[in-house]
């Protein structure tokens, strides 16, 4: 390995950042609900603005990382994320919470891709793959630590884990200024770059690929519907448990810590089982798995919206969350199937953007229904928004030509 120091710093960033994110996320929706008193529409709009910020700034921040410095991009991102969390946790007012999403959403785009590109530059592509895998493993450890700390600190104030997370992100940024190297980065001179021209050509090739392989069109539509239903669930499940079912015996912060912790552990175990027993090269099997998983999510989500018994509601939510986590690698594998390597990133980006479009469009719809009628109605609406994917999956299963 060319640069052991860079490898160690990458591991530190992955463990620390995921732990700090989980520290804020564990109590985030509970804080917005109980301290800021946001209604269902406002809860969803917070997520919508975050998605818009990420979608808008993903390309510009990527260009900055390529033109000037991956190290600079990562450090700027870490600082902006910290500022966003401190702002949100300090002022429980809807408008300030919205502004905070812009800060940490832009910060996320500064770090997204730049961190991995920086590591590849520093240690070499041959070693990067194993480092990414190790980074994923330590992220899980960091996440569990973050959930635990959030639960303990949150007992003294539901906003405190968010503020502490933001402060620690700032501290991480200051630390990186001192220790993060950048010796392998060689920026291409601006006068030699034709970034947007290259993007336009690649995008056109991606569209051409969709015409040649019609199944890709359906795959992207499925990505859209995945996004349409998910935002309402992500933003309203906590409100449903707190307002419609109630969380007895313990402080709600403890309940959030338990649910997030169980979800992470069960998902980790489920992913390991899938890796052992499912042949990821069998595309038809993957499509059937995605169809069954999506159908179960739909059924469980309707049940989650209707149920009044706490332990059943928690079991249903955990089942939904695990199935969603399992869907991600299956769906990504399907998207990748028989793609031209030169446009693979573009097609994957298109699928991600379709998901983002879905979240931006579907969130306000379910949020308005939650405000106008009930949170239960909003969750059931989310399940309805997912239902069209069953048609697209069945279409592929029935047609051998679509599987090519």
Q: Where are the domains of the chain?
A: 4-185, 198-403
Residues in the chain: 404
Contact 17, 78 (CB under 8 A): yes
Distance CA 201, CA 123 (A): 31
Most confident of 102-111, 147-156, 192-201, 320-329: 147-156
- The predicted structure's pLDDT at residue 46: 93
Instruction: Give the homologous superfamily in CATH for domain 198-403.
Output: MFS general substrate transporter like domains (1.20.1250.20)
Contact 15, 141 (CB under 8 A): yes
- The predicted structure's pLDDT at residue 56: 83
- Using the predicted structure, report yes or no on whether residue 404 has a pLDDT greater than 50: no
Query: Residue 24 has which token pair?
Result: 């804020």
- The predicted structure's pLDDT at residue 83: 97
Q: Does domain 4-185 have CATH number 1.20.1250.20?
A: yes
- Using the predicted structure, report yes or no on whether residue 274 has a pLDDT greater than 50: yes
- Using the predicted structure, report yes or no on whether residue 222 has a pLDDT greater than 50: yes
Q: How much is the mean pLDDT over the chain?
A: 84
**Least reliable range by pLDDT among 56-65, 184-193, 293-302, 322-331:** 184-193
**What pTM value is reported for the model?**
0.83
- Using the predicted structure, report yes or no on whether residue 280 has a pLDDT greater than 70: no
Is the fold of 4-185 the same as that of 198-403? yes
- Using the predicted structure, report yes or no on whether residue 37 has a pLDDT greater than 90: yes
Distance CA 48, CA 61 (A): 20
């Amino acid at each position: 390995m060319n640069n052991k120091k860079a490898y160690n710093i990458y591991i530190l960033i992955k463990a620390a950042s995921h732990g700090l994110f989980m520290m804020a996320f564990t109590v985030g929706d509970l804080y917005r609900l109980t301290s800021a008193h946001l209604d269902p529409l406002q809860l969803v709009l917070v997520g919508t603005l975050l998605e818009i910020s990420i979608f808008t700034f993903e390309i510009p921040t990527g260009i900055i990382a390529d033109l000037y410095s991956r190290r600079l991009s990562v450090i700027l991102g870490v600082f902006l994320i910290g500022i966003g969390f401190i702002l949100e946790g300090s002022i429980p007012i809807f408008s300030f919470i919205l502004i905070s999403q812009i800060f940490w959403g832009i910060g996320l785009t500064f770090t997204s891709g730049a961190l991995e590109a920086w590591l590849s530059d520093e240690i070499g592509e041959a070693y990067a793959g194993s480092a990414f895998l190790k980074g994923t493993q330590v992220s899980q450890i960091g996440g569990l630590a973050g959930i635990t700390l959030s639960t303990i600190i949150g007992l003294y104030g539901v906003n405190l884990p968010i503020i502490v997370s933001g402060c620690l992100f700032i501290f991480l940024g200051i630390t990186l200024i001192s220790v993060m190297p950048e010796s392998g980065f060689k920026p291409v001179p601006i006068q030699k770059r034709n970034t947007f021209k290259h993007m336009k050509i690649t995008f056109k090739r991606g569209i051409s690929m969709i015409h040649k392989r019609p199944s890709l069109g359906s795959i992207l539509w499925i990505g859209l519907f995945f996004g349409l239903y998910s935002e309402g669930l992500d933003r309203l499940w906590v409100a449903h448990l707190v307002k419609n079912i109630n969380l007895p015996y313990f402080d709600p912060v403890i309940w959030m810590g338990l649910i997030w912790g169980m979800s992470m552990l069960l998902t980790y175990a489920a992913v390991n089982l899938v890796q052992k027993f499912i042949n990821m090269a069998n595309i038809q099997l993957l499509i059937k798995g995605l169809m069954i998983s999506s159908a179960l999510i739909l059924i469980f989500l309707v049940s989650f919206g209707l149920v009044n018994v706490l332990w059943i509601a928690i079991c249903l939510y955990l089942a939904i969350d695990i199935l969603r986590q399992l869907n991600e690698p299956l769906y990504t594998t399907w998207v990748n199937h028989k793609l031209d390597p030169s446009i693979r990133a573009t097609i994957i980006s298109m699928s991600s953007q379709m998901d983002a479009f879905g979240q931006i469009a579907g969130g306000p719809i379910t949020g308005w229904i939650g405000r106008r009628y009930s949170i239960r109605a909003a969750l059931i609406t989310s399940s309805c928004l997912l239902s069209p994917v069953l048609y697209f999956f069945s279409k592929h299963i029935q047609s051998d030509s679509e599987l090519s």
